[in-house]
């Protein structure tokens, strides 16, 4: 089932639009990163930073939770495993950083 973009809550819609506009990308660290050189002038920078910070906090919390469930796993190992799965699920055209270079996900 596909979710219509118009039916998303306002904050999620704003973040989704930032990703679609190329203003955010999936950084090699597993965090969302601002990609302002790929973004149009119509983007509200403060909202972009707010969405990025909030989402990255949630990602860090997920990695800590995953690591806490396996005594032998570090947060770093949880981050790497999470990122591998997450990148399979991101939309086509999303900017992804690999080995210090940004490319769009092909599908």
Q: Residues 51-97: pLDDT tens digits?
A: 788 899 999 999 999 999 998 999 999 999 999 999 999 988 889 99
Determine the pLDDT at residue 2.
Answer: 39
For the whole model, what pTM was predicted?
0.75
- Type and span of the H or E element at 84: helix 75-89
Element (H, E) at 103: strand 101-104
Please give the Cα distance from 21 to 39 (Å, whole number). 6
Predicted local confidence at residue 57, as pLDDT? 94
């Amino acid at each position: 089932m596909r979710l219509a973009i118009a039916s998303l809550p306002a904050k999620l819609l704003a973040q989704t639009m930032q990703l679609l506009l190329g203003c955010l990308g999936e950084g090699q660290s597993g965090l969302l990163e601002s990609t302002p050189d790929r973004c149009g002038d119509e983007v509200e920078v403060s909202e972009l930073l707010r969405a990025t910070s909030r989402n990255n906090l949630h990602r860090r919390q997920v990695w800590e939770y995953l690591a806490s469930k396996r005594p032998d796993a570090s947060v770093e190992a949880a981050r790497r495993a999470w990122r591998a799965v997450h990148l399979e699920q991101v939309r086509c055209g999303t900017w992804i950083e690999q080995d210090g270079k940004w490319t769009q996900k092909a599908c």
